[in-house]
Structure 1
């Protein structure tokens, strides 16, 4: 019982520390469109990022971007640039800035800001005050994008 309780307290403390490090959407610091600091203090998971990228109800990135790495998925868009070699074109900080709020990098872009929770219009009231992706999902997508190099 003592060990179980101790483990539960340790998990709670670890969770609290991880949550405490998460940067809220309104506190993200942009420098020329880039975001140097991790939004979570945790590394991104490229496997999870690939899932978010492909998920039509989360990132929905394929609606606008062609991505040869996801050739098994249908209906790749052509509105945005292809993702092939994206890690060769942009740094990690630039990719984080683009995914967080591309409007800070590209004036007039139609790409949505994935990590903002105000200053936009949502068609459904249920989503008001929420970002499209969580901070960890942003980090995961960035980690995935970093795997997309020309080789």
Structure 2
């Protein structure tokens, strides 16, 4: 795929609940931010706002959102750290920012057999929890925040 550019854009259907939990809302179409994959990287940020390191650290530890710590060992204190994925200490020395961004967005574009979830993809997924159907696990700014945190891990 070297030298080739792949434009990836997706449309998701998602809608917040309007009012109480007993009500259901009609899904509203939401466009995912289009991104371009160039030589196994997403070189351009998904947002105009730079990522925030502290928010990214919190997301990496948040078991309901980024949840990086479930599969990866991080160089910080956490109640449990996984070993399914590679350790993240030194990850910023091993990968360029665009390469890390692609791994967060959709690592299956690099390795279709990857166990890592596709955090910014909504189509072609299997066994998605009903409350997550049609929406990405991370918002574009959250991708950039986690990336900012990972870039501190040298």
Range class of TM-score, shorter chain: 0.7 to 0.9
Q: SS state of the match for residue 37, structure 2? A: coil
Structure number with higher helix proportion:
1
User: Which structure has the bigger radius of gyration?
Assistant: 1
Distance (Å, rounded) in 1 between the aligned partners of 2:135 and 2:127: 10
Distance (Å, rounded) in 2 between the aligned partners of 1:123 and 1:108: 17
Q: Which stretches in structure 2 are left out of the alignment for 5+ residues?
A: 1-30
Distance (Å, rounded) in 2 between the aligned partners of 1:65 and 1:32: 25
Q: Give the deviation of 1:107 after TM superposition.
A: 3.5
Q: Give the deviation of 1:31 after TM superposition.
A: 1.8
Render the CA deviation track for 1:5-49: whole Å, top value 9, x for unaligned.
Answer: xxxxxxxxxxxxxxxxxx825x22112321011101210001100
Residues 34 and 105 of structure 1 are in contact (CA less than 8 Å); yes or no, is this contact kept in structure 2?
Answer: no
Which of 84, 90, 99 matches 2:104? 99
Please give the TM-score of this superposition, normalised by the length of structure 2. Answer: 0.76
Higher relative contact order by CA 8 Å / sep ≥ 6: 1 or 2?
Answer: 1
Structure number with higher strand proportion:
2
Q: Which stretches in structure 1 are left out of the alignment for 5+ residues?
A: 1-22
Please give the TM-score of this superposition, normalised by the length of structure 1. Answer: 0.77
